[in-house]
Amino acid sequence: MDIKIVDVAAKAGVSPATVSRVLNNNSNVTSKTKDRVMQVIHELGYQPNAAAKNLRSQKTMAIGVIVPEINNSYYAEVIKGIENQAYALKYKVIICDTSNNKEKELEFINLLMNKTVDCMILVTPMMSDDEICHWADLDYSIGIVGRYIEHDKIPCVYTDNVKFSKEVVNHLVEQGHREIAFLSGYADAIDSYERLEGYLKGLREHHIPFRPEWIENGNFNKQGGYEALKRLVEKQVKFTAIYAANDEMALGIYQACGELGIKIPEQLAVIGVDNNRVSRYITPQLSTVNQPKNKMGGAIVDRLIDQLESGEMTENRVIILESQLIVRDSSRNPALP
């Protein structure tokens, strides 16, 4: 049915080898035969069979990407960056959405690494460092977005959670707050841990004694944020500001405050992380931290492909990109000038 390289070869009066050479490296082919072959290729609309090509050349020109939720805007933006750079480098992108399911994640990794893709990008906050190192030890070519991994062979691109979390605390203190609650995400996600760490360091830098009742968990989703705030209020915890480990939970906080009649930012300052689309449109506008998501995606692709094609470790294994505190109404003290 389909047209094969032998068909092209026959019609052009050359051998399949020559056709292949025309299509690939082009080394040592007369421009006359080259033209003739190209002519036939266009006439017949020939396209090389990818499966055969992959098998023989041991390359697929494909990158696998594993994300927890493709419809979450953070991951969608990272993927966008990956897509763009992959396209520029002539790679295809296979996306695997794990729905936050770790089983699925492992399954995908196994599925893809058998010559389905040349390398993989993990954008997963759930998997442990050890597990990730394990894959790399098996000579799987992988890159990580959003966290740091201590392993020679694994390029990482991320923003410094600890650093920006300290900045968040700093900002809240500047606005006059001394009682600052923290709303964490999944307990086993690396981001939760690091943002908590930054929060604690921030408190310490301002000599604010930490109180355990300030910390609640909201599992990174809106419902979790809503419930967490209600718990805090019910337990009569005293706090004038709250740092949510992502914007999604901050939305839940807004909802709970609405129901409880708590005014933002007058009675409670709120700040999130992610710079979700919604954060700019909600009232009052939500302060947040913006991460260069597109750039992170692009950078990891660059690094991985470079490593893949050069066959050796790239110079800058670890790339830390700057994130940016975006102060909006939800955390601004109206009493200050």
- The gap from C-alpha 145 to its chain's centroid, in whole angstroms, comes to 5
Among 71, 209, 234, 336, binds a copy of itself (CB under 8 A): 71
Placement of tokens 């007058």 in the chain = 266
Q: Which stretch binds a copy of itself (CB under 8 A): 33-41, 208-216, 277-285, 322-330?
A: 277-285
Task: Provide the Cα torsion 114, 117, 121, 126; round to 10°.
Answer: -30
Pattern 257-276, binding to a copy of itself, x per CB under 8 A? -------------------x
Reduce the DSSP state of residue 288 to 3 states and report it.
Answer: strand
Q: Is 316 a binder of DNA (CB under 7 A)?
A: no
As measured in angstroms, the least distance from the Cβ of 147 to a copy of itself is 21
Give 112 or 196: the residue with its C-beta nearer to a copy of itself. 112
DSSP state of 273: S
d(CA 289, CA 287): 7
Question: Is 207 a residue that touches DNA (CB under 7 A)?
Answer: no
Q: Is 33 in the site for DNA (CB under 7 A)?
A: yes
Interface size with a copy of itself, residues (CB under 8 A): 47
Residue 302 partner contact from DNA, a copy of itself, none using kind-dependent CB cut-offs of 5 to 8 Å:
none
For residues 285 and 279, is the Cβ–Cβ distance under 8 A?
yes
In the chain the first and final C-alpha atoms are separated, in Å, by 75
8 A C-beta contact, residue 64 and residue 52: no
Contact between 265 and 330 under an 8 Å Cβ cutoff? The reply is yes
111 binds DNA (CB under 7 A): no
What gap in Å lies between CA 49 and CA 10, rounded to an integer?
A: 17
Contact between 62 and 31 under an 8 Å Cβ cutoff? The reply is no
The stretch among 9-17, 64-72, 136-144, 159-167 that binds DNA (CB under 7 A) is 9-17
Q: Does 10 bind DNA (CB under 7 A)?
A: no
Contact pattern for a copy of itself over residues 75 through 94, marking x by CB under 8 A: -xx-xx--xx--x----xxx
Can residue 20 be called a binding residue for DNA (CB under 7 A)? yes
Q: Is 113 in the site for a copy of itself (CB under 8 A)?
A: yes
Considering only 20-28, 36-44, 71-79, 231-239, which stretch makes contact with a copy of itself by CB under 8 A? 71-79
Shortest distance, position 113 Cβ to DNA, whole Å: 13
Q: Does 282 bind a copy of itself (CB under 8 A)?
A: yes
* Nearest residue to 206 (alpha-carbon basis) of 167, 246, 244, 243: 167
Chain centre distance of CA 328 = 24
Helices marked H in 71-189: 73-88, 102-112, 129-137, 161-174
We find the least distance from the C-beta atom of residue 21 to DNA, in angstroms, to be: 6
| Partner that binds at residue 187, options DNA, a copy of itself, none, CB closer than 5 to 8 Å by kind | none
**Within the chain, what is the greatest distance between any pair of CA atoms?**
87
Asked if the peptide bond before residue 265 counts as cis, ω within 30 degrees of 0, the response is yes
Binding site for a copy of itself (CB under 8 A): 1-2, 47-52, 54-55, 58, 60, 62, 69-71, 73, 76-77, 79-80, 83-84, 87, 92-97, 99, 104, 110-116, 139, 251, 276-278, 281-283
